[in-house]
Amino acid sequence: MTDPKPVCTDKTKAVIAALRADPVIAKAIQQCEEQHQQRIDDQVKLTEIPAPPFHEEVRADALVEMFKQYGVENAHKDTIGNVIGRVKGSGNGPVLVIGAHIDTVFKEGTDCTVRKEGNVYYAPGISDDAGGLAGMLQVMRCVTQNNIKPVGDIVFVGTLGEEGNGDLRGCKALFKEKNDYDGMIAIDSANVHRILRGAVGCKRFRIIFESMGGHSLHKFGIVGSAIHGLARAITMVDNLEAPQDPKCTFNFGVIKGGTSVNAIAARAEAELDIRSFNQPSLEAFVEKILATIKQACEDENKRWNLEGENAVRLIIEQIGDRPAGMNADDASVIQAAYGALLSLDISLDKYTLAATDQNVPLYYGLPATTLGAGGTEANNHALSESWDSTDAFQGPQVAFLTAMTLVGVQGVTEPILEKAKHE
Low-confidence ranges of the chain (pLDDT < 70): 1
- Please, how many CA atoms are within 13 Å of residue 324, restricted to the half-sphere of its CB? 18
For residue 30, the model assigns a pLDDT of: 98
**Predicted pLDDT of residue 23:** 98
pTM of the prediction?
A: 0.92
Which phi and psi angles does 184 have, rounded to 5°? -150, 145
pLDDT in tens, 339-356: 999 999 999 999 999 999
* 124-159 residue pLDDT tens: 999 999 999 999 999 999 999 999 999 999 999 999
Q: Work out the number of other CB atoms within 10 angstroms of the CB of residue 337.
A: 30
Neighbours of 116 (CB within 10 A): 12
Kindly tell me the burial class for residue 93, based on how many C-beta atoms sit within 10 Å of its own C-beta (0-12, 13-18, 19 or more). Answer: buried
- Which residues, in sequence order, are CB contacts of 260 under 8 Å at separation 6+? none
Class of domain 201-322: alpha beta
Residues 174 and 78: beta-carbon distance below 8 Å: yes
Contact 203, 320 (CB under 8 A): yes
pLDDT at site 304 = 97
The single-letter code of the amino acid at 342 is L
Q: How far apart are CA 204 and CA 318, in angstroms?
A: 6
- 323, 355 contact by CB (below 8 A): no
- Which of 389, 381, 384 minimizes the C-alpha distance to 104? 381
Amino acid at 134: A
Query: Could you give the C-alpha distances from 186 to 36, 293, 337, in angstroms and in order?
Result: 20, 36, 12
Beta bridge partners, 354, equal 199
Give the integer Cα–Cα distance in Å for 421 and 251: 38
- Is the bond preceding residue 299 a cis peptide, omega within 30 degrees? no
Q: Is the separation of the CB atoms in 127 and 373 below 8 Å?
A: yes
C-beta separation of 335 from 6 below 8 A: yes
Q: Where are the domains of the chain?
A: 10-200+324-407, 201-322
pLDDT in tens, 23-54: 999 999 999 999 999 999 999 999 999 999 99
Average pLDDT, the chain: 97
Quick one: fold of 10-200+324-407?
Answer: Aminopeptidase (3.40.630)
